[in-house]
Structure 1
């Protein structure tokens, strides 16, 4: 049995990276022979087997012929006559088309080792255009390998543009798009995924809500990078830095500013109310890609609340402003002298006003029932604030303030409440106790 180590394990070793799963190609064998040797078949679309001892994957050498549109339109030939070179020739990129025999010698008919040395992502051959999923795979590989200096070969990028123009990306099912997106967001440089898709025109097809952000200006004093699309790239990379490998955090980072694409031209570069405006396109994106509930819920919380978290130290001022406005105190200043009569309970609780606003923010994010949500919210908001040109190393005090307030509120238990309460009175007493705890915690800051 002629077996060869192939794909990622060979590529990563040549890059000096820790290899992941080891996959093998078997040449000159049949399915019956593999099963007779004790290998367990697991492949649905082509012959793949698990080694009886190691559990590693062994696939019969095969070729693929295009038979229809989309990434499933292929006829597979795994005849024993298929050579190793033919099997490697059906692969996507040269860096993935390298094999290693049992003696450690490389079989590299398409120059993958040379491209690894040059840090170039290059397609193997003309068959690349037959699978539209490879456009997303190219972008996802860039998200992983851009940090090692890789770039897409110009001829490969041109081919990707042709594939986009052909309309075949519309054949991709949402689950496969989400799978590639999720893996890219868990990589070290998610911005490279977005930039690669943007440069070849594919972002407008698979993530039109994100593509719409490119070219939208922001106020330079807050966003030195100006372009909202560039800002989102920076935020995604900062999220990957703060929470490595966490696609949940990075998805919320990716979608936090979708509302800025909807800002009327005459308002630019300001984006008044973009946090609320972003909820509708976010929900459309999540429905289309069948995004998991947890990702969707965190993304909505971040989209809606990120400005409130940035203004954490202003929350009491915001609540006081609302109190004065309710009393018409800006149009009729004398009303403030009469405020004790109009809003007497709120005036008595003046020191609790920010705590009440913070409590409401935590509750809106389901932070009492799902405590992890608040730390996630703080992380993404920090990524948003630091994901700006020249501001990556700035401190972000609101994150610590929000976490401290949440921890203080979560420390309150029913045992801290007055005895004899029942029904709704328990809930209200818990709310008041949590607000008092938040007031005490934030008052120390």
Structure 2
């Protein structure tokens, strides 16, 4: 009975990165052997055990056989006769198919160390074909390790999987789980690139996939291509370490540009409203959490108003706050402003760097909201007496007056 550290812990140590979690594979043991040593069983599909002291996961070495479409269609086999190499060959990428023994020696039967040196994602074997989640995982790894490239033969294998419908068999929750994790990595645009290159993005998020090749006015978007704009936007959000909801909203904000009539391009009048149904459909299909969906819809609807906030009248500003439910949920409104800032910053061009130029819209709107929120709605309601039907309008008017006073004060100070 021998235990080996496997997978990501070995990879990250070789890359000089901190190791967060360690997974172990045990060779030459039975479940009874593990129980006799105090390990606690936790695996449902195959034998996995928790170490009695460290609580780290130890899995018995296993082989697997494909029995049905999708990532759940496998039968696993464990026995003391399964070798370490038999377990490693079922893994997705060579850089994840290494093990470290108790003496520190590396077991690397498939060239993982070579591919780390060459910065290449390469599948271990044709068993990669059998699990469509591996496409999503590879794309997520590309976002984590953006200087790695996909081996041509691995990309060809992934295209084959897409063509054979394997990606269509993925359950929505798993797609969202992997996409969400990819959005939180160092350079999320690399995930989008990998998924596009193999055709998977067109199957899991067709509303987003169509944006590449859709032109925008070069005066405002030097990068021109809407898909490239999405890449710049999501990478800026990652650079600022924004939370998942903000990153997702930033990614979704221009979905409507793929639905405007091509004859009107590069203009996209009304794309804000056109994008709302597309976002709703994508979120329903992938079972995106409500907080992400709601912020994405708000950002798509309002990002144009944010960009022209300074020319909006006080009444229009208060109506905007009401429409966004900003008086009850000011934090979500602040998140929307961050996503809108990503839209402004995520643009190409060298002569005029959108990433560093002043962006006054967020502070301007936040200040106006703070002034409107400072109105004591209870006092306003009390002044209405028994005429309860006028309370909402009276509060609205009071908030408009507060914003007007702020704007006059601001003008006087200039």
SS of residue in 2 equivalent to 1:366 = coil
What is the aligned counterpart of 1:374 among 294, 310, 333? 333
Unaligned runs of 5+ in 2: none
Asked whether 1:405 is paired with 2:368, we answer: yes
SS of residue in 2 equivalent to 1:210 = helix
Aligned to 2:251: 254
Aligned to 1:173: 171
| 1:437 positional shift | 2.6
Aligned to 1:4: 4
What is the aligned counterpart of 1:233 among 231, 234, 241? 231
Per mean C-alpha deviation after superposition, the further-off stretch among 77-86 and 401-410 is 401-410
Spell out the pairing of 1:36-51 with structure 2 (5 A cutoff). 36-51=36-51
How many angstroms apart in 1 are the aligned matches of 2:336 and 2:98? 43
| 1:425 positional shift | 4.3
Spell out the pairing of 1:8-27 with structure 2 (5 A cutoff). 8-27=8-27
- Once the two structures are superposed, residues 271-309 of structure 1 have per-residue CA deviations (whole angstroms, 9 ceiling, x without a partner) of 000000111111111111111111111011001000000
Asked whether 1:438 is paired with 2:382, we answer: no
How many angstroms apart in 1 are the aligned matches of 2:152 and 2:223? 26
Unaligned runs of 5+ in 1: 316-353
How many angstroms apart in 2 are the aligned matches of 1:184 and 1:248? 13
- Once the two structures are superposed, residues 112-138 of structure 1 have per-residue CA deviations (whole angstroms, 9 ceiling, x without a partner) of 122112111111111111111111111
How many angstroms apart in 1 are the aligned matches of 2:83 and 2:401? 73
SS of residue in 2 equivalent to 1:412 = coil
| 1:181 positional shift | 0.8
SS of residue in 1 equivalent to 2:176 = helix
What is the aligned counterpart of 2:285 among 284, 288, 297? 288
Aligned to 1:110: 110
- Once the two structures are superposed, residues 75-130 of structure 1 have per-residue CA deviations (whole angstroms, 9 ceiling, x without a partner) of 10111111111111110011111111122221111111221121111111111111
| 1:392 positional shift | 2.3
SS of residue in 1 equivalent to 2:145 = helix
Give TM-score, length-normalised by structure 1. 0.87
Aligned to 2:154: 156
